[in-house]
């Protein structure tokens, strides 16, 4: 099972949260800023990225392979 990073609205900001954590790994004013940061991390680490809408429904799910092969 791959790790996951979630982009979700928290209060007035958008947060990126790694699976298993309650605290945000980053917060942003706009959803697009949050998505850009989370997508970059997901691509680097090979995570799944789940993006939620304002109403709490899933907008998009992406799965990435790691950019570097670890030996």
Residue ranges of the domains in the chain?
4-63
> Is the pLDDT reported for residue 68 higher than 80?
no
Q: What is the mean pLDDT of residues 46-64?
A: 96
The partner residues of 51 in beta bridges, in order of sequence, read: 7, 60
pLDDT at 20: 85
SS3 percent helix, strand, coil of the chain, rounded to 5, is 20, 40, 40
Where is pLDDT greater, at 41 or 68?
Answer: 41
Once rounded to an integer, what is the mean pLDDT over residues 5-15?
A: 97
How does residue 2 score in pLDDT terms, banded at 50, 70 and 90? confident
Tally the C-alpha atoms within 13 A of residue 13's C-alpha that lie toward its C-beta.
11
What is the rounded average pLDDT of the residues 10-29? 95
């Amino acid at each position: 099972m791959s790790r996951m990073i979630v982009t979700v609205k928290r209060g007035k900001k958008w947060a990126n949260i790694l699976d298993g954590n309650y605290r945000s790994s980053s917060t942003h004013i706009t959803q697009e800023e949050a998505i850009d940061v989370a997508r970059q991390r997901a691509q680097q680490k090979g995570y799944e990225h789940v993006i939620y809408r304002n109403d709490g429904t899933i907008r998009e799910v992406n799965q990435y392979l790691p950019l570097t092969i670890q030996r």
